[in-house]
């Protein structure tokens, strides 16, 4: 058992635990993937469990691929029959095997992504004569998803108010449309497996017999449907090992429930519980700060995280005047650290909401520094990529009306709205789907139809193409089918107009073609399933040498030598929506904890004095979470002291929210404690009104903290003078002359 030599005592205990229920509570960076992979090897080599009797599930394709790669390395080859993948991919495989036992679906069902789902909801609202402005599709879809996560079908949905009544009606119509399209959404994959197991005990018994050992990663992120599926599969043997950490549960908004950890204990009162507390990622100082933050949450299991990496760099807490200066400070700091030998990919800049990336992106562009933005328009959501996938989906499943609607006249082929409407009416009268109607016009010269001239030619030509692709789908590879579609539709001429944007679009199509070429043995059904289930975290390319910009939610499962967390202000983190809800506030704290524990060597935390909120500049309060970090772990003045320093003078601030905008007085809200900009000094009274500038461009000045610098710009702002100074050591600072006490040199 040489493969066990590299494990610590707690990891070895988890890996070699006897069969039965096992709960592993794994702190961040504690080697949970190592435990899961070694457990699989232990089951096969020491307990003689056949690989095909093991089911291992996680939340991202990236994690599943990493786990499989590690196991194959230790086992010197591919493991035939080992079921390892995400919850959704696992459920999709089960459902495809059991379509004979499913109403409404056949084996070729497609999986609708979020954009497709919204289209179906919009159609459902239209069918019900409901206003999509009054009942936004996204809100309706959230309500439907919540019901499915709780395994509530349209028939079982119980409305308690007017909105719920509308949601129930839309849900019912939405499901009818999915069934008509032979399609499932992501939540259906989970719910339908649970319903299948409940309705067909014989089917459940078959999978219980097959999967006699179950391993689950990121258990704290499971929802009701996922936990229900696991409980049913494990009911016959109870050989289930789950790895999780309630302190890292940050997906409550999409149904995740960390309380499933407590439910696991209740379901298996004799379960062995193991704590993984040794961290292999961060310095002890970062761990101590993180523990100090998370310990304020209740209903959690305490883990005393420790590491062999004693000490570490102090955590830097900075305050900027506004988000523009905050972004510039981040970029300046990264530039300085690059000179110390760091690589651009060593850095990650995290924030609470996607909107916060704008000022950061602009700062990176101004500095001509490379960056990658996680959570922007993802590859599989780009227009041209979705077009080609829609063609493939329609060839795979001719009932897919959403894909049909997308590409029937893309590229333009003379099938306009009126012709489509006429075709739909004629198809319905013949008992045909639109795709079948197209093919009928193409292959049956004797069929009676109302179309003439150009309309008939366009409809029949498209029908001939569809007929050919459907015939070819089982005979050629996915890549070859894609080549045929691209050539026969003239898609390149349509998308690549010779401009740089056109070239980029065609490059995206070719990138999709390369994805199809990576595994020539994958069927069309498997390929479409893979691209439908790609998660956001799977899009982080570790080979790109650039700084990563991403939300704290997207940071889960990642790690970086240097981490910046920006926008640490009350109302942003914690988010204003959490102020009146204890559970929401606890999750905001967990989100901050997750971000902190992504850092290996250095952690920078920043907040702004002012920030534009809903388009209006507001004076902000530093995040309450910053107060939980012990003062001796922080480089600089603590946030509590900075708050106290500004009580007397905060009302004198009259700068604009941006130095590029006209000045305007923004009085602070009443009874609100104001932070102190770190770069300002104490003063007894507001400065007197000025009639002319005291400083000029190019002038040398000295600051007590920042040293000697050069004035770049100076201008009067209300009753003060705003001076922009370049300091060789600390970068560009915008200072209030009345507070900064700048000393002129050689004036």
Point out the residues that are catalytic: 32-33, 217-218, 248, 598
Helix axes 201-210, 224-234, angle to 10 degrees: 70
Measured CA to CA, the distance from residue 329 to residue 361 in angstroms comes to 13
46: left (phi over 0), alpha (psi -120 to 50) or beta: alpha
Contacts (Cβ under 8 Å, ≥6 apart) of 491:
387, 388, 411, 485, 509
Within 10 A of 47 (CB to CB), how many other CB atoms are there? 12
Cβ pair 217, 243 in contact under 8 A: yes
Of 506, 512, 501, 559, the closest CA to residue 534 belongs to 512
Of 384, 381, 379, the closest CA to residue 497 belongs to 384
Measured CA to CA, the distance from residue 460 to residue 711 in angstroms comes to 72
The token pair that represents 385 in the structure block: 């990529």
Measured CA to CA, the distance from residue 426 to residue 419 in angstroms comes to 11
Cβ pair 394, 407 in contact under 8 A: yes
- Let me know the angle formed at the C-alpha of 81 by 75 and 85, rounded to the nearest 5 degrees: 90
DSSP strand E in 595-730: where?
Answer: 599-608, 610-613, 616-619, 634-635, 700-703, 707-717, 720-727
Q: Helix H segments across 434-495? A: 434-443, 453-472, 478-489, 491-495
Q: Helix H segments across 22-60? A: 32-45
């Amino acid at each position: 058992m040489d493969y066990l030599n590299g494990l610590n005592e707690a990891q070895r205990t988890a890996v070699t635990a006897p069969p039965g229920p096992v709960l592993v509570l794994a702190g961040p960076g504690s080697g949970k993937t190592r435990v899961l992979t070694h457990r699989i090897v232990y089951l096969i080599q020491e307990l003689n469990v056949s690989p095909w009797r093991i089911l291992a599930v996680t939340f991202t394709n990236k994690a599943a691929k990493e786990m499989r790669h590690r196991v194959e390395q230790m086992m010197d080859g591919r493991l035939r029959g080992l079921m390892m993948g995400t919850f959704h991919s696992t459920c999709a495989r089960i459902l495809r095997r059991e379509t004979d036992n499913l109403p409404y679906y056949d084996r070729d069902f497609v999986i609708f992504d979020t954009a497709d789902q919204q289209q179906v909801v919009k159609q459902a609202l239209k069918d019900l004569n409901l206003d999509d402005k009054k009942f936004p599709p996204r809100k309706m879809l959230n309500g439907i998803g919540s019901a499915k996560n709780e395994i509530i079908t349209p028939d079982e949905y119980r409305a308690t108010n007017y909105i719920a009544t509308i949601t129930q009606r839309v849900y019912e119509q939405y499901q009818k449309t999915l069934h008509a399209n032979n399609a499932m959404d992501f939540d259906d994959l989970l719910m339908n497996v649970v319903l299948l197991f409940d309705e067909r005990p014989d089917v459940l018994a078959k999978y219980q017999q097959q999967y006699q050992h179950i391993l689950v990663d990121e258990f704290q992120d499971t929802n009701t449907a996922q936990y229900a599926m696991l409980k049913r599969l494990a009911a016959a043997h109870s050989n289930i090992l789950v790895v999780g950490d309630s302190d890292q549960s940050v997906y409550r908004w999409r149904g995740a429930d960390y309380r499933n950890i407590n439910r696991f204990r209740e379901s298996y009162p004799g379960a062995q519980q193991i704590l993984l507390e040794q961290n292999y990622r961060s310095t002890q100082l970062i761990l101590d700060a993180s523990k100090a933050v998370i310990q304020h949450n209740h209903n959690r299991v305490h883990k005393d995280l420790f590491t062999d990496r004693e000490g570490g760099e102090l955590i830097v807490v900075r305050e900027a005047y506004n988000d523009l200066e905050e972004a510039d400070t981040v970029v300046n700091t990264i530039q300085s650290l690059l000179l110390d030998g760091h690589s651009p990919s060593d850095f990650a800049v995290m924030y609470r909401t996607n909107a916060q990336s704008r000022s950061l992106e602009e700062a990176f562009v101004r500095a001509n520094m490379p960056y990658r933005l996680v959570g922007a328009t993802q590859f599989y959501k780009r227009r041209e990529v979705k077009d080609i996938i829609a063609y493939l989906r329609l060839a795979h499943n001719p009932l897919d009306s959403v894909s049909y609607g997308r590409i029937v006249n893309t590229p333009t082929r003379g099938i306009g709205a009126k012709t489509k409407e006429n075709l739909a009416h004629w198809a319905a009268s013949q008992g045909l789907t639109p795709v079948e109607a197209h093919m009928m016009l193409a292959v049956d010269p004797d069929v009676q139809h109302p179309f003439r001239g150009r309309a008939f030619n366009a409809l029949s030509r498209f029908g001939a193409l569809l007929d050919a692709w459907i015939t070819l789908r089982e005979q050629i590879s996915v890549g070859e089918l894609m080549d045929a579609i691209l050539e026969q539709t003239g898609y390149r001429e349509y998308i690549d107009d010779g401009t740089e944007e056109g070239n980029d679009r065609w490059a995206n199509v070719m990138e999709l073609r390369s994805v199809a070429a990576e595994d020539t043995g994958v069927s069309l059904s498997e390929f479409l399933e893979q691209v439908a289930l790609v998660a956001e975290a799977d899009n982080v390319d570790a080979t790109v040498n650039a700084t990563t910009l991403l939300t704290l939610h997207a940071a889960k499962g990642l790690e970086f030598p240097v981490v910046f967390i920006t926008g640490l202000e009350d109302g942003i983190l914690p988010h204003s929506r959490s102020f009146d809800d204890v559970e929401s506030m606890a999750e905001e704290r967990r989100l901050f904890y997750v971000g902190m524990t992504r850092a290996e060597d250095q952690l920078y935390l920043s907040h702004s004095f002012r920030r534009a909120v809903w388009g209006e500049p507001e004076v902000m309060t530093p995040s309450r979470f910053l107060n939980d970090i012990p003062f001796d772990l922080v480089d600089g003045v603590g946030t509590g002291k900075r708050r106290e320093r500004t009580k007397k003078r905060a009302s004198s601030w009259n700068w604009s929210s941006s130095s590029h905008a006209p000045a305007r007085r923004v009085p602070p809200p009443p009874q609100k404690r104001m932070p102190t900009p770190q770069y300002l000094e104490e003063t007894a009274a507001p400065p007197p009104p000025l009639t002319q500038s005291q400083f000029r461009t190019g002038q040398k000045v000295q600051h007590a903290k920042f040293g000697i610098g050069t004035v770049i710009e100076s201008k009067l702002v209300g009753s003060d003078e705003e001076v922009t100074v370049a300091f060789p050591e600390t970068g560009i600072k915008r200072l209030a002359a009345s507070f900064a006490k700048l000393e002129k040199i050689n004036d």
